[in-house]
Amino acid sequence: MESLRGVKMIYELKVEEDAPMTVNNFLKELLTEGEVDAVIAMTETPSGKSAFPTMISHPEKLSTNVFAPLLPVSTGTVVSKVTKVKPPKKTLAVVLRSCELRALTELVKLNQADLENIILIGVDCSGTLSMDTYQGQDQDITEAVLKNESEDDLRTACLNCKDPVPKNADLVIGTFGADTDKNLFLDAKTEKGAEIVSALGMDESEGEEVREKAVQDIRDEKEENRKAFIQERSEIEGPDKLLEFFDTCVNCHNCMKVCPVCYCNECIFESSIFDLEGDKYMKKVEGKGAYKTPTDSLLFQLTRFNHMMLSCVGCGLCEQACPSDIPLMDVITGLADNAQELFEYEPGDDPEEELPLVVYREEEFEDVEER
């Protein structure tokens, strides 16, 4: 992806009916003008109870709401699914929130997604709600979240978001700094993005400075939230507390299945490797006296953390998918930040930067050898 760092091209999308409809019309134009052959964007389900990333190729079937405050699945995972075997020959535009883009960038590094012929459209994220909260709300919830009126309802992960502003997209649909009743920003970040905007002939925006300030403000706010959140969570003191934290885990592996960066194609815990002979279990219970079954839920959680924490994008899907309501983000937020700090690695930030565990430097962490 050619980057246009330093070159700023910011355009304006005039809001006609409401913000979601405006973006819907923009996507429709992309399809009818032949700029793209299909799009993937959040669309409310017929029941109105949910919204899912939906793939659409017929302009008349477009009824997207890219601002629907729900994250049922990471669109990063969806793009991986579509492009992993072989990317499409035709052009596909995908609308993603910032955490989904971060996840996608990580998946590209893991060779589990290919961005050839994919146009990435990022969208500013004002946060998402839990499935239950979303289902219990009326239609106006999109607007309420967009205008920051439902902050108390946001998911833990969203309150402490790493960065709600999309990175590494070709185009960014901006709401921060915009009066969403009147206009939205359209930020061209790459040549690909700029070509599309110029083909459609859009108006340049005057509000660049306003947007920049609003973006900085929200980033500062989230960073503060995140720091306070991590500090607030008391550490898990020792193995007993650790067992206590996970003692409602039913070992369903949902957290692993929804995690966009849980990268093993076949999870070792789904294999029969931990199935042992009866005598082994008997020997084990002799040593411990008593243990909860299934036996490997704690081992599963620790191994999962060890695998994904360097790439954790903080989407909180694991917590959302947990049937036992284990507040996983209480643990993962700090854990991931610590690990990423250790390797000075920021997942989803720079597509060129390699994953910390596949590179090495000859001179580093020398104390290990000395000890």
Given the rule CB under 8 A, which residues bind other proteins?
235-242, 268, 274, 284, 287-288, 296, 298-299, 302-303, 305-307, 309-310, 334-335, 338-339, 342-343, 356-358, 360-362, 365, 368-369
Q: Which residues of 101-125 are buried (b: 16+ CB within 10 A; e: fewer)?
A: bbbbbbbbbeebbbbeebbbbbbbb
* Shortest distance in whole angstroms from residue 244 CB to other proteins: 12
Task: Name the minimum Å distance from CB 360 to other proteins.
Answer: 3
Q: How far is the CB of 203 from other proteins (least distance, A)?
A: 49
Any idea how long the chain is?
A: 371
CB closer to other proteins, 66 vs 308: 308
Q: Measured from the CB of residue 291, what is the shortest distance to other proteins in angstroms?
A: 10
Name the residue nearer to other proteins (CB basis): 188 or 255.
Answer: 255
In whole angstroms, what is the distance from residue 245 CA to residue 72 CA?
A: 25
Torsion of CA 222, 99, 257, 132, to 10 degrees: 60
Q: What per-residue string of b and e applies to 43-64 under the rule 16 or more CB within 10 Å gives b? A: bbeeeeeebbbbebeeeeebeb
Shorter beta-carbon distance to other proteins: residue 60 or 235: 235
Smallest distance, other proteins to C-beta of residue 295, A: 8
Distance from CA of residue 77 to its chain's centroid?
A: 9
Contact 18, 30 (CB under 8 A): no
Q: How far is the CB of 294 from other proteins (least distance, A)?
A: 13
The residue (of 21 and 298) whose beta carbon lies closer to other proteins is: 298
Tokens coding 156: 């833990």
Measured from the CB atom, the residue of 96 and 339 that comes closer to other proteins is 339
**Cβ-based nearer residue to other proteins, 352 or 362:** 362
Structure tokens belonging to residue 9:
């091209």
**CA pseudo-torsion sign 84, 90, 96, 101:** positive
Residue nearer to other proteins on the CB measure, 67 or 345: 345
Closest approach of other proteins to the CB of residue 322, in Å: 19
Cis peptide before 327 (omega within 30 of 0): no
Determine the Cα angle at 124 with ends 135 and 37, to 5°: 90
